């Protein structure tokens, strides 16, 4: 038997239809009507998102920027974000929704980005219609400039044309409400992006009530399901979202990094105040729990099997 034919079992199995993360995400949206996607900024936080029972991971640009101690203003490079997406995909089987900001440039850059993110294991990309470099959406008085509709339509068309897996989701995000351009502009842009092939439309708002988003939803007559990020209007819980019926995905945009900062601040302050770790120790997860998350059990098994 030749070396090549020895590989036949591999090629046979690769022909079997293994569901992709993108296919799984699409199926969940279709079956459940609504999927819950939680932010993560590291493979460890991605593991915790999966263990908590979410449907997907939001590879948030805001969270990764914060992890580097940087503002979310297009300073983190595509390579840095991509490396994190790849590392998350290695540790979690949940579909990853990659926040690719403005797509790192024009439509040509979007083509490159979509190929890279798909290859890195993402199930979806979200591209927003702001100018590069962008300013984070929730910053008070942040500079919020939109690109021309035609330019963004070109970017969406480029993204659709460059995905290899037809299940890979291209989510168009309009920042029209964030930029203060008003609901008619937001609806016009959303319709143009759907027409260009976007699978879903993310409508972002930074109002402290859901009114603006609810009004947009009432005006939305497209077929593409809507994505929301209710950071500033947390009253919009699952019950309310389901009642609106047009929302297919809710993204909890920055709750992993905020939980991390909350917990670290608390512990660090207590250690200084108590003069040691003797009190906080009992309130922290054990080292064994970290071993579990790191899969130390596999190391032990592998040692038994292979260290001779
Ligand atoms: C992110 O998490 O990076 C987002 C959501 O894009 S927001 O920060 O609200 O713009
Ligand atoms: Mg972002």
Rounded CA separation 218/126 (Å)? 23
Centroid of ligand 1 to alpha carbon of 306 (angstroms)? 45
pLDDT score recorded for residue 9 = 40
pLDDT score recorded for residue 17 = 75
pLDDT score recorded for residue 18 = 83
Centroid of ligand 2 to alpha carbon of 295 (angstroms)? 30
162, containing H or E segment: helix 149-162
Structural domains of the chain sorted by starting position, each given as residue range(s) with its CATH number in brackets = 3-255 (3.20.20.60), 261-306 (no CATH)
Task: Determine the residue of 130, 143, 175, 204 to mutate for testing ligand 1's pocket, defined as the one with the most ligand atoms within 8 A of the Cβ atom.
Answer: 204
Single pTM value for the model: 0.94
- Minimum CA distance residue for ligand 1 atom 5: 253
pLDDT in tens, 282-293: 999 999 999 999
Task: Please name which of 54, 251, 142 lies closest in space to residue 241, comparing C-alpha atoms.
Answer: 251
pLDDT score recorded for residue 11 = 41
Residues with CB under 6 A from ligand 1: 39, 60-63, 72, 99, 136-138, 229, 231, 253-254
Task: Determine the residue of 60, 97, 203 to mutate for testing ligand 1's pocket, defined as the one with the most ligand atoms within 8 A of the Cβ atom.
Answer: 60
Neighbours of ion ligand 2 (CB under 5 A): 61-62, 99
Q: Is 72 a catalytic residue?
A: yes
Q: What three-state secondary structure class fits 131?
A: coil
- Mean residue pLDDT of the chain comes to 95
Rounded (5°) CA angle 59-177-126:
25
Name the stretches of the chain with pLDDT < 50. 1-14
Judge whether 56 and 248 are in contact, CB under 8 Å.
Answer: no
Among 55, 72, 99, 199, which one carries the catalytic annotation?
Answer: 72
Centroid of ligand 2 to alpha carbon of 101 (angstroms)? 6
pLDDT in tens, 209-218: 999 999 999 9
Judge whether 202 and 173 are in contact, CB under 8 Å.
Answer: yes
């Amino acid at each position: 038997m030749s070396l090549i034919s020895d590989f036949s079992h591999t090629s046979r199995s690769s022909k079997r239809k293994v569901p992709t993360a993108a296919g799984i995400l699409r199926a969940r949206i279709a079956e459940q009507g609504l999927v819950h996607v939680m932010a993560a900024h590291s493979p460890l936080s991605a593991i915790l998102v999966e263990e908590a029972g979410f449907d997907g991971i939001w590879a948030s640009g805001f969270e990764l920027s914060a992890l580097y101690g940087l503002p979310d203003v297009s300073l983190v490079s595509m390579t840095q974000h991509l490396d994190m997406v790849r590392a998350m995909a290695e540790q979690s089987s949940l579909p990853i929704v990659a926040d690719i900001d403005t797509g790192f440039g024009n439509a040509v850059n979007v083509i490159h980005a979509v190929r890279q993110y798909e290859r890195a294991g993402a199930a979806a990309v979200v591209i927003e219609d702001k100018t590069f470099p962008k300013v984070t959406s929730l910053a008070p008085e942040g500079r919020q400039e939109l690109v021309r509709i035609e330019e963004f339509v070109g970017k969406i068309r480029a993204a659709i044309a460059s995905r290899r897996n037809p299940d890979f989701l291209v989510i168009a995000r309009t920042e029209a409400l964030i930029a203060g351009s008003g609901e008619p502009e937001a609806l016009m842009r959303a319709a143009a992006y759907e027409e260009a092939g976007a699978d879903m439309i993310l409508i972002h708002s930074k109002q402290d009530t859901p009114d603006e988003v609810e009004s947009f939803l009432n005006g939305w007559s497209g077929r593409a399901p809507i994505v929301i990020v209710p950071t500033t209007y947390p009253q919009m819980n699952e019950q309310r979202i389901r009642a609106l019926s047009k929302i297919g995905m809710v993204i909890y945009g920055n709750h992993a990094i905020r939980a991390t900062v909350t917990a670290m601040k608390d512990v660090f302050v207590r250690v200084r105040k108590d003069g040691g770790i003797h009190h906080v120790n009992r309130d922290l997860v054990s080292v064994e729990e970290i071993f579990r998350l790191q899969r130390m059990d596999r190391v032990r098994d592998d040692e038994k099997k292979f260290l001779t």
